[in-house]
Amino acid sequence: MTAPDVESDLARTRRARRIDRALAVRYPDARCELDFTSPFELLVATVLSAQTTDVRVNLTTPILFARYPDAAALAGANPEELEEILRPTGFFRAKARSVMGLSRELVERFGGEVPGRMADLVTLPGVGRKTANVVLGNAFGVPGITTDTHVMRLSKRLGYTASDDPLVVEKELDALIPRKDWTMASHRLIFHGRRTCFARRPACGACPVAAMCPSAGIGELDPAKAAAMVKA
């Protein structure tokens, strides 16, 4: 697709929704890739996922939650012991401070339970809108756009936004995608960014939305070569 000089808001909205439908076909299993069994586990796992992979977090959290199963336990953790558990996730000292701090806040202000409101979540240490939207969308069923690195990158490549400000991007995507689809649309963009639309060299020749993408052609165009790049 050759991007027009000016795309109307209506045309952009229609294109964004066609792209989302195409990605739903391509990634029917799109979901949150962090393992969790409760809002508390998802909140902590999301904080830990900064600057590391979901796979690494999923290897760490079973050990973490076996030792500290709830907010009260984590709030009273031994800092050195906690840091050692979190060491594989990187930035382990800062992450230990954040998860202990948010756990203390949960105990002191919310009875040890994770609140189900954005206004409350963003007051917790280490929790911003991105983390809050992950928790709300996946643990509470409250739709939200998650502006992680993949969503930010793909939003610009797909011509949804020109901004690098996560709040601006979130609001612009909110306007393009129906509210009921915000959480799943985020998952589909993240799946696409991890599996096909890579940061350095996207697999354009194997992309299901290339015909609708103004950035199509910046990566590998040969269909066979591009297909070999796609991650299962």
B/e letters for 48-79, b = 16+ CB within 10 Å, e = fewer, are bbbeeebeebbebbeebbeebebbeebbebee
Q: Which of 5, 70, 120, 148 is catalytic?
A: 148
Q: Which of 9, 120, 130, 225 is catalytic?
A: 130
- Give the rounded distance of the alpha carbon of 84 from its chain centre: 26
Longest dimension (CA), the chain: 58
Q: Is 148 among the catalytic positions?
A: yes
Round the CA-based radius of gyration of the chain to a whole number and report it: 19
Q: Is 130 among the catalytic positions?
A: yes
Hey, what's the torsion of the CAs at 165, 92, 193, 215, to 10 degrees? Answer: 40
Q: Which positions are catalytic?
A: 130, 148
